[in-house]
């Protein structure tokens, strides 16, 4: 029995190293998750700021819908063309030109911008639900 007591026990470091590595991985995952969530919040708020320049208040939309009623596309196009200067000024320089054209049953509204690219505009339209 004395011989068993004299043997030195091997220290097992595997469990400690594994625990430290697991803790480090979890810590880094939490940091990455936090950075992603902050980035999503920043992108969302910036998109909302840009969209707010183009999308009027809901009250104005209701008033406009009541005024338009069952107007023809040509009447709507002429009203949009009358207000193109207001739209350009409210965009704070993001829109260079705004022009509405109409056919018998179709209305096309063209906005041109030198500061916005197609990806940004597509994201804004998706965010506002105007495009699927």
105 has pLDDT over 60: yes
- Beta carbons of 132 and 100 less than 8 angstroms apart: no
Work out the pLDDT band at 106, boundaries 50, 70, 90.
confident
Highest average pLDDT, of 2-16, 34-48, 52-66, comes from 34-48
Work out the pLDDT band at 54, boundaries 50, 70, 90.
low
pLDDT of residue 80: 82
Stretch 119-123: mean pLDDT: 73
Lowest-confidence range among 34-38, 47-51, 94-98, 126-130?
Answer: 126-130
| 66-71, long-range: CB < 8 A, 24+ apart | none
CA 119 to chain centre: 11
58 has pLDDT over 60: no
């Amino acid at each position: 029995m004395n011989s068993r007591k004299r043997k030195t026990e091997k220290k097992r470091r595997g469990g400690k190293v594994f625990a430290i590595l697991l803790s480090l991985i979890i810590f880094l995952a939490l940091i990455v998750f936090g950075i992603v969530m902050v980035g999503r919040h920043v992108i969302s708020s910036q998109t909302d700021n840009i969209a707010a320049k183009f999308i009027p208040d809901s009250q104005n939309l209701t008033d406009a819908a009541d005024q338009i009623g069952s107007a023809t596309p040509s009447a709507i196009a002429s009203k949009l063309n009358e207000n193109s200067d207001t739209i350009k000024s409210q965009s704070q320089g993001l829109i260079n030109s705004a022009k509405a054209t109409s056919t018998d049953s179709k209305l096309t509204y063209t906005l041109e911008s030198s500061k916005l690219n197609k990806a940004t505009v597509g994201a804004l339209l998706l965010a506002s639900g105007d495009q699927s």
